[in-house]
Structure 1
Amino acid sequence: MVAVACVTVVGIGPGSRDYLLPAALEAVKEADVLVGGRNALALFASPEKEQRLLDRNLEGALDYIAAAAKKKRVAVLLSGDPCFFSLLPRLRERLGPENLRVIPGISSVQLACARIGLPWHDLRFVSVHGRGLEQLESVGDAGKVAVLTEERYPPAAVCRFFMERGAGFAAVWVFTDLGLPGELITRTDLSGGARLKGRGNSVVILLRDEDVFPGFQAEGGAVSEEPGCSPAGGERIADYMASPDDRTGGTAASGSGSPAAPGREWADVVTPGLPEDLFLRGEAPISQEEVRALVLCKAGLRRGMVVYEIGAGTGSWTVEVARLIAPGFVWAVERDPVAAGLVRSNLKRFGLSNAAVVEGEAPAACAGFPKADCVLVGGSGGKLQMIIAAAESWLRPGGCLVLSAVTPDTFSTAWQQLQGEGWERQEAVLLNLARVVPRGSARIWQGENPVFLLRAFSTGGKEE
């Protein structure tokens, strides 16, 4: 270790002079050399001071600091607080703690919590910046979590990670450019967070209890429902508020962030048609339980089958099939990454491991799957004819294809194609449902959208 004069490590907070400590300003004023990132150096632009940019050549920067400190007063400018996920450990290792003077700063997490009036002493802190999403495994069952993100692992990736593992976070806050003119704050849930674009360098706060701060009002005015508006206080706040149906699996009155975990009363049920409110919900479609029950009855499910599911959506079919065919296996194909995350979350929610979720578009995504006993088509992504043609080669002789459609055009296209060579015992059903709903002081029948169900069996005449 090289003997050096004292190096001052200065926490510059979020990057605005409004949040700089007087001690930090004094340390910068006294320094001969400033070392920091581009934004940090821009705060203290002065022709009188030597400046060195902290970039990807970290070892070169450390060499420079060690050499400069032998003759000059050096201040290293670090964003946030130097003692919170920063370069400080590397400086201690290189220069020795006895050669460092540290001036604290306001961390981005502190400022984020201040924005929403959230106590932060019991937060679980994680940084994926330069570390990877595997750091999130350490969260465990913590009720309040703060995650520092980066361009490679933005807030959407963090939310997808927790969705896929069935984490029960009811509320998600995303804070970007805190304390700066373009400050952006978003309140959402895991599903909404998984759809956010960009926002790489942000703070994400996840809460299992969304009523941690009931009635909260953002500084300067109420949280806006429209992205990009500016409340009276000058903050730019986007409030992505999922509808009650999105957050509660269709039970707006429950007020919870996710439906109750499936109880033991369903563990031994051997018929399809589980209630919709047992499944985690997002914007992905979920079939009505009566339609799902009839589809799976038409599939003639048996223990040990291999089933392809095309267009898995929320994963309600996937869960039901996996339960009923175990130890058989389900290959669930879904082209939307957010929906695929929901499928994985629902499988984990029901404790099922005999299914694989494949992100991609059928039929290409099915390459390499083993021969199927049954193919279920809930969504085709505009490739229905290609999927039906490919299903002839996917199915074992005597295997069945079951397809649901909500438009006459889709039904007509599928029905005509299934009359061709390679298919037999074609069957079509039009399902009309009606439910009793309140209408004033009375109750009436309210019809649901009709659903077409088609089934056909492979003759086994076509090989890959």
Structure 2
Amino acid sequence: MKSVHVIGAGVEGQEGFSGRALELIKQAGVLMGGERQLELFPDFGGEKVAIGNNLGEVVERLKKSDRRVVILASGDPLFFGIGRYLLRNLPDEDFEFVPNVSSVQYAFAKIKVPWDDAVSVSAHGRGLKGAVDRIVANDKVAVLTDERNTPAAIAAELLERGRSGYAAWLCENLGGDDERIVETDVKGLLEIAAAPLNVLILIKEYEAAGEGYVPALGIPDDEFATIKKLITKEEVRAVSLAKLRLCHDMTLWDVGAGSGSVSIEADHLLPNGRIFAVERNEQCLEHIKGNLNKFNARHVTLVEGEAPACLETLPDPDRVFIGGSGGNLYDILQAVDARLPADGRVVLNAVTLDTLTAANEFFDNAGYQVEVATVNIARTRPLTDYKMFEAFNPVFVVTAVKE
């Protein structure tokens, strides 16, 4: 296989190519690309090959080719483009990439907004919920949508999560005669039937809820909506989060999330991470949804279901917090052990000796390093004539590190 030039086509047609890109195309024996890109060169004298959905065929053809090949791609071939697939399947020394202006870059230029601090998200492959997870974690986002995860579908999911505080620009058919840019908001996107070729830009203007909240460990218990007693007390919460030793890009499972207090406090400790709050109790689920909106939790995904069955579809965890097991402790620990990497940590809160004993027995048999800390809390009673202490039941904080 001779060297392959992968050239990005801009949004302005053939005049958007550099002189060098046009010369490489002129010298090529084979020109590959999408139908729209190939139409830009009606007078090309060599062989034209339209690239369909089967990129495997492209790779096989490149392996056998002894002619100079140019592949036309949209914008920057290494920005959500064919370049990633080619580099995964063929040696990188076989390629030269000639980028052009990407659709995202062009869209920001059209709305006259700097984009060096923007995050780009592709809904294709990631799915609607995964795309919106990324959107709510950032203040300025460019979204490449698809026929299923449309701007309206993305807006509906944002509204479902109470995240309406974004200005929106729907940029359609960029560079074409029918180019259209609509400035609106999240609710307005619901009313627009978007063209298939579009870039959606979302810029946060305000928080829909939780204004004034400053992330800090030890949020007072009464700030959370919760079923009485189904909350990890703030002091225990702080100790448990310390024992988890969270790093910025980890994945955390919060099993038996209750009010979601642990997930919410972990949220700002994992600025590039992912948190999955697992809960089965319907009343708790409503409280968690309200708390996530109140505190603007950006990286928390609510998982409705009973563990361990609902854990199967989640990405592997780096850390696991278990606040409740619903009587399925052994099965949950088995599922966690099968997915947790070496040096992964499990922190479990036990309020009964039965749970403590069962957890210790499992971790000992599985070869974990185990530490147990007992947290005894006594708080002064407010609004009383005398400073009396009110004691809470002790909590056993079990920390287990996988060898």
Asked if 1:107 is matched to 2:51, the reply is: no
- How far apart, in 1, do the equivalents of 2:42 and 2:161 lie? 46
- Which residue of 25, 30, 41 maps to 1:28? 25
- How far apart, in 2, do the equivalents of 1:148 and 1:32 lie? 33
Residue 167 of structure 1: how far off its partner (Å): 2.3
- Which residue of 1, 7, 29 maps to 2:4? 7
- How far apart, in 2, do the equivalents of 1:268 and 1:136 lie? 24
Asked if 1:202 is matched to 2:202, the reply is: no
User: Which of structures 1 and 2 has the larger relative contact order (alpha carbons within 8 angstroms, sep 6+)?
Assistant: 2
Q: Give the conservation status (yes or no) of the 8 Å contact 1:166–1:348.
A: no
- How far apart, in 1, do the equivalents of 2:194 and 2:77 lie? 26
Q: Which amino acid aligns with 1:51?
A: K
Asked if 1:178 is matched to 2:174, the reply is: yes
Q: Which amino acid aligns with 2:84?
A: P
Match of 2:77 in 1: 82
Residue 118 of structure 1: how far off its partner (Å): 0.9
Q: Give the conservation status (yes or no) of the 8 Å contact 1:152–1:200.
A: no
Q: Which amino acid aligns with 2:152?
A: A
- How far apart, in 2, do the equivalents of 1:182 and 1:11 lie? 21
Residue 126 of structure 1: how far off its partner (Å): 0.7
Q: Which amino acid aligns with 1:151?
A: E
Match of 1:118 in 2: 113
Q: Which amino acid aligns with 2:293?
A: R
Match of 2:61 in 1: 64
Other structure's SS at 2:85 match: helix
- Which residue of 349, 353, 372 maps to 2:293? 349
- How far apart, in 2, do the equivalents of 1:7 and 1:15 lie? 24
Match of 1:39 in 2: 36
Work out the number of aligned pairs and report it. 235
Match of 2:141 in 1: 145
- Cα distance 1:33–1:328, how it changes in 2: closer, same or farther (>3 A)? closer
Match of 1:128 in 2: 123
Q: Which amino acid aligns with 1:34?
A: L
- How far apart, in 2, do the equivalents of 1:195 and 1:19 lie? 34
Q: Over aligned residue pairs, what C-alpha RMSD do you find?
A: 3.4
Q: Give the conservation status (yes or no) of the 8 Å contact 1:12–1:24.
A: no
Residue 77 of structure 1: how far off its partner (Å): 0.4
- How far apart, in 1, do the equivalents of 2:44 and 2:111 lie? 39
Gaps of 5+ in 2: 214-219, 226-280, 296-303, 305-403
Q: Which amino acid aligns with 1:86?
A: G
After TM superposition, the structure 1 = structure 2 runs for residues 224-303 of structure 1, keeping only pairs within 5 Å, are 258=208, 261=211
- How far apart, in 1, do the equivalents of 2:224 and 2:148 lie? 43
Match of 1:445 in 2: none
Match of 2:87 in 1: 92
Deviations 1:249-271 (A, max 9, x none): xxxxxxx685775999x9799xx
Other structure's SS at 2:5 match: strand
Residue 5 of structure 1: how far off its partner (Å): 0.9
Q: Give the conservation status (yes or no) of the 8 Å contact 1:151–1:198.
A: no
- How far apart, in 1, do the equivalents of 2:156 and 2:70 lie? 39
Q: Which amino acid aligns with 1:170?
A: Y
- Cα distance 1:41–1:120, how it changes in 2: closer, same or farther (>3 A)? same
- How far apart, in 2, do the equivalents of 1:74 and 1:121 lie? 33
- How far apart, in 1, do the equivalents of 2:22 and 2:49 lie? 18
Following superposition, which runs of at least 4 residues in structure 1 exceed 3 angstroms of deviation? 256-264, 266-269, 327-332, 344-351
- Cα distance 1:82–1:149, how it changes in 2: closer, same or farther (>3 A)? same
Task: Point out the structure with max Rg over C-alpha.
Answer: 1
Q: Give the conservation status (yes or no) of the 8 Å contact 2:164–2:187.
A: no
Residue 32 of structure 1: how far off its partner (Å): 1.1
Other structure's SS at 1:9 match: strand
Other structure's SS at 1:43 match: coil
Residue 173 of structure 1: how far off its partner (Å): 0.6
Match of 2:348 in 1: none
Match of 2:49 in 1: 52
Q: Which amino acid aligns with 1:101?
A: E
- How far apart, in 1, do the equivalents of 2:285 and 2:126 lie? 32
- How far apart, in 1, do the equivalents of 2:282 and 2:178 lie? 52
Other structure's SS at 1:198 match: coil
Q: Which amino acid aligns with 2:125?
A: G
Match of 1:281 in 2: none
- Cα distance 1:39–1:47, how it changes in 2: closer, same or farther (>3 A)? same
Q: Give the conservation status (yes or no) of the 8 Å contact 1:15–1:39.
A: no
- After TM superposition, the structure 1 stretch with the greater mean CA deviation from structure 2, 176-185 or 9-18, is 9-18
Q: Give the conservation status (yes or no) of the 8 Å contact 2:172–2:194.
A: no
Deviations 1:352-397 (A, max 9, x none): xxxx9xxxxxxxxxxxxxxxxxxxxxxxxxxxxxxxxxxxxxxxxx
Residue 148 of structure 1: how far off its partner (Å): 0.6
Q: Which amino acid aligns with 1:180?
A: G
- How far apart, in 2, do the equivalents of 1:136 and 1:175 lie? 18
- Cα distance 1:125–1:185, how it changes in 2: closer, same or farther (>3 A)? same
Other structure's SS at 1:52 match: strand
Q: Which amino acid aligns with 2:132?
A: L
- How far apart, in 1, do the equivalents of 2:132 and 2:141 lie? 10
- How far apart, in 1, do the equivalents of 2:44 and 2:294 lie? 64
